[in-house]
Amino acid sequence: MREVRLAPSILAADFGRLGAHCREATAAGVDWLHVDVMDGHFVPNLTMGPLVVAALRPLANETGCILDVHLMIEAPDVLIPAFVQAGADMVTVHVEACRHLHRTIHHIKELGCRAGVALNPATPLAWLVEILPDVDLALIMSVNPGFGGQSYIPGSTDKIRRLRQMLDAIGSDAWLEVDGGIKPDNAAEAAGAGADVLVAGSAIFGGPHSVAENVAAFRQALAIYRKSPE
């Protein structure tokens, strides 16, 4: 049975107290922090840059959490060095944004960082076949990227399952991450289909409950997955 990690998306955090809000998440037991970088071109939103990663690096050093940087930008090659220098542990790029994906993935690794590749909902898994052996993480977008708070696309579950089969078939130990509309009521479904890492934004940083209570709700939901047969 695989361990399923929670990766709170800081896009949904309170930026007026970002460090404290993220510390609440790490204190609640999460060991990844997901940084959604958007440029207003590849997706219709503009978010954050390397300075935010640098600001979170001391917290990551203190707690041992992974800074998981997701580049939803048109020209990732230009900014990858800045994000690595700022302290990213994982840099994920979109197959749709990379003209020379193999070169980009290996550039990330040459800079000393783990490399991931992401797929938008309408992008077929076939686009990953040639690069899958080279990546440390494969990310399924279960919403159309650009904004938090969207609903999970139901067809994503089958896509997760098929990607898990692809990874297992080549003996890959890459993480399978799912991002978009993840909540306690579908966390076990995504994990059961093969996800290793679940990205959740508003379901962890938002709502009437504390971050710790929200994380606990995910842990309780994932207990269903852990109790289910392989």
Positions annotated as catalytic residues are 36, 179
**Is residue 230 within 8 Å of 40, Cβ to Cβ?**
no
Whether 40 contacts 75, CB under 8 Å: no
**Quick check: 182 and 188 in contact, CB under 8 A?**
no
Q: What is d(CA 221, CA 99) in angstroms, rounded to the nearest whole number? A: 39
Please give the Cα distance from 140 to 176 (Å, whole number).
8
Q: Is 4:195 a contact under the CB 8 Å cutoff?
A: yes
Token representation of residue 156 = 């994503």
- Residue 96 burial class via C-beta count within 10 angstroms: exposed 0-12, middle 13-18, buried 19 and up: middle
| DSSP-derived 3-state class of residue 6 | strand
CA 15 to chain centre: 19
Comparing CA positions, the residue from 179, 188, 176, 177 lying closest to residue 220 is 188
145 Cβ contact list (under 8 Å, min separation 6): 38, 42, 43, 72, 120, 179, 180
